[in-house]
Amino acid sequence: MFQLKIFIELTRLNRPIGIMLLFWPCSWGLAYAYSIDKNFSQFLYFLLLFFLGSVLMRSAGCIVNDIVDRDIDKKVQRTKNRALASNLISVKLSLIYTALLCCLAFLILIQFNKLTIFLGLASMILAFSYPFMKRITYWPQLFLGLTFNWGIIMAYAAVNNNISVEIVLLYASAIFWTLGYDTIYGTQDIVDDEIIGIKSTSIKFRNNIKLFLSCCYFASSLLIVFLFYNNFDLNLSSLLMITYILSLMYQIIIFKKDNPKKCLKIFKLNSYSGLCLFLGIYLIN
């Protein structure tokens, strides 16, 4: 029972927000592909596979991140009690868990076509190099955006066996979305990160964070409007897409960089933002 508790904490299964932020972009890609190819049974099946894949890969990514950051986490108030940082589990056992999770994820991946399998394997490079980015650049949030939203491309390719310009634009929109919400998340650790030398957009733009967030969320919203302007009308789909945009504006309005609890609360709101956009794209036509 104790080991199970450690495993749950290590993989953040007790904090599903990360799973949903990884899954929603996958669902956007599937929903967009579904608006072209109306195969509902395949849509539901792929949605389930991508959700399970999100659970497994997010769990594996958390373990790898904690292995890489275990010495840093000891120095940060918010992370000092994590399993690896507090020596509740060994690196060796953590790597075994990671390997098992990746094997399960691979079993899901091979249910798709060859292009999707290739894209999935390519994403491993992004996923397992991300933890090192905060050491070398002030833009780890951008790298997270590239990584966390790769599922958009994969999901579309799983249905259509190709990659379109439109799906790349949706991917770009999601990158700006992630750049915004992860900057909000990183604001919680600005003081500790500066002391130990960790880089982030939260630190880089600490004096103009609201302006930076506004630019990120505006870019995300603009790309959504550009992609779907032909579908904007008095319908539920348009209302949900507008709700997505308004939810981003609301985050900026209530954001306070000196209030870590509020930053975390705002960050978690993005799961609802992702849901609104998923439903909005799904209900097209």
Phi-psi region of 87 (alpha: psi -120 to 50; beta: other; left: phi over 0): left
Q: Kindly report the number of other CB atoms within 10 A of residue 48's CB atom.
A: 11
Tokens of 247: 């939810």
Distance CA 17, CA 47 (A): 17
Q: What is the pLDDT of residues 201-216, one digit of tens each?
A: 999 999 999 999 999 9
Distance CA 156, CA 28 (A): 9
Distance CA 99, CA 145 (A): 24
Domain count for the chain, please give it. Answer: 1
Question: Residue 88: what pLDDT?
Answer: 85
Question: Residue 131: what pLDDT?
Answer: 85
Question: Residue 91: what pLDDT?
Answer: 92
Q: What is the CATH number of the domain that holds 26?
A: 1.10.357.140
Per the CB < 8 A criterion, the answer to whether 40 and 153 are in contact is no
Distance CA 225, CA 124 (A): 31
Question: Residue 285: what pLDDT?
Answer: 66
Question: Residue 211: what pLDDT?
Answer: 97
Question: Residue 281: what pLDDT?
Answer: 95
Distance CA 147, CA 184 (A): 18
List, for the chain, all residue ranges whose pLDDT scores fall below the cut of 70: 1-2, 285
Residue 240's domain comprises 2-282
User: What would the 3-class secondary structure string for the chain be?
Assistant: CHHHHHHHHHHCCCCCHHHHHHHHHHHHHHHHHHCCCCCHHHHHHHHHHHHHHHHHHHHHHHHHHHHHHHHHHCCCCCCCCCCCCCCCCCHHHHHHHHHHHHHHHHHHHCCCCHHHHHHHHHHHHHHHHHHHHHHHCCCHHHHHHHHHCHHHHHHHHHHHCCCCHHHHHHHHHHHHHHHHHHHHHHHHHHHHHHHHCCCCHHHHCCCCHHHHHHHHHHHHHHHHHHHHHHHCCCCHHHHHHHHHHHHHHHHHHHCCCCCHHHHHHHHHHHHHHHHHHHHHHHCCC
- Helix 17-34 to helix 150-160 angle (10° resolution) is 30
Q: What is the pLDDT of residues 165-192, one digit of tens each?
A: 999 999 999 999 999 999 999 999 888 8
Distance CA 263, CA 261 (A): 5
Question: Residue 2: what pLDDT?
Answer: 59
Nearest alpha carbon to residue 254 among 264, 266, 244: 266
Residue length of the chain: 285
